[in-house]
Amino acid sequence: MSKLKVVVVDSPSTAYQYFHQGFSGLPEDAEVVILPPGTSREETFRVCEDADGIVFCYFQVDEEFLSHLKKCKVISRTGIGMNTIDIPACTRHGILVANVRDPQTVDVANHVAALILSCAKKIPKANAMVREGVWKMEPLMPIRCLTGQTVGLYGFGRIAHVVARRMHGFDMRVIAHDPFLPAEEFEKNGVESVSLEELLTQSDFLSLHMPLTEKTRKIVDAEALHKMKPTAYLINCARGGLVDEEALVAALKDGTIAGAGLDTITSEHPTPDMPIFSCDNAILTPHSAWFSEESNNALLSDAAEHVANFLTGKPVVSMCNPEVLEG
């Protein structure tokens, strides 16, 4: 039996010891290859050709890539989002796909809370004013008390559950729309289940919590934005593609909504001339919601452990296409 080979593609971190920690369950003679940043797609094809397992982050795992793999059995992502991997194609090739769901949950939820607080208290604007020598509250008006305001969660998965707990701590009303969950899931978390119409029209802060798919792409469009309160804020720490960014820019500039807190926008490689950057009422962070030193290290280790577990016959706790095991 040939020795196992695993490859780490486009690592988001140089903390490689955590990959090795996750791979520790592999046989001692297993080959671990960690490709350096900037490795070409063609070179990645070549190195992965005889890999038994692959760990990736942003790499485009599509039919072209899969067609080069001769013996791969499992592919694991260092994160939860799967919009850069063709899962049905992996299933056709008999490859199990896994992701990492838990380590980043609390960090993303905390970032959502931070953006809500920053929007409500206008902290970035206040900081900029003070540094420019303006020591006044008037330019920040109006500022409303958080108590009693409504946070709307569009989707009610793991991260949204934690956000709900955080917002309850501020004595805020929490509502959510997720047609895929039973009523008791909302009730036991102290969250009101509402229709999409109610979510859009009642939320003072509308936070997005859903994966990016063809069905959810631009799900927050001009029509949705015009249903929101003119005093409302849109919060997006999920995927930029969920929002029609052209419509959002228009809504921010004409006062359709009061502002936005965005950790994700339509481009992962934005340029300064993008229209969203001209909106003074948008708070922007560089897709950093998921990150803390602790969660990043756990992501790397857990993603590698999924691969090691599968290749050594142990259970994998986070499978995206478990049906491949039935084939």
**Which token pair is 199?**
């979510």
**Which token pair is 35?**
């490709």
Residues whose CB is less than 8 angstroms from the CB of residue 265 and which lie 6 or more positions away in sequence, other chains included: 240, 245, 274, 276, 284
Paired strand residues for 192:
175
Tokens 């960690």 -> residue? 34
Look at residues 39, 89, 98 and name the one whose alpha carbon lies nearest to residue 69. Answer: 89
Local structure of residue 211 (DSSP, 8 states): -
What length does the chain have?
327
The CA–CA distances, whole Å, from 194 to 163, 173, 175, 181, 242 equal 17, 12, 7, 12, 20
Residues whose CB is less than 8 angstroms from the CB of residue 170 and which lie 6 or more positions away in sequence, other chains included: 146, 147
Tokens 């499978």 -> residue? 319
Catalytic residues: 239, 268, 287
Paired strand residues for 205:
151, 233
Q: Rounded CA gap, 307 and 285, in Å?
A: 32
Q: Rounded CA gap, 300 and 287, in Å?
A: 17
Residues whose CB is less than 8 angstroms from the CB of residue 66 and which lie 6 or more positions away in sequence, other chains included: 72, 86, 89, 90, 93, 95
Look at residues 103, 74, 204, 222 and name the one whose alpha carbon lies nearest to residue 149. Answer: 204
